[in-house]
Amino acid sequence: MAITRTDIVGTKIICEIESSNLVKTEYDSETSKLIATFKNGMIYEYEEVPHKTYAQFRLAESQGKFFNTDIARQYKYKKVEETE
């Protein structure tokens, strides 16, 4: 698992990820919102994710494992949409 591409657009950090579950994350350092796109097409928005946590996620040996243990179960989230 690895981050294959990172783009910074304004206050957003957009990462494409090669993972068994994640495809892409978009983190807004101004609002502390993290949008995660999964391989099954589901998109979720996580609120109040500290920048430090997102930095640890990006540096983790396994982004998928870190996401599941340190983000998905720790922060309030809502389903945004599904991709086709």
Q: What is the mean pLDDT of the chain?
A: 93
Kindly report, residue by residue over 34-71, the tens digit of the pLDDT: 999 999 999 999 999 999 999 999 999 999 999 999 99
Q: Is the pTM of this model over 0.95?
A: no
Pair 25, 35: CB distance under 8 Å: yes
Task: Give the confidence band of 84 by pLDDT, cuts at 50, 70, 90.
Answer: low
Of 17, 23, 13, 16, give the one whose Cα is nearest residue 1.
17
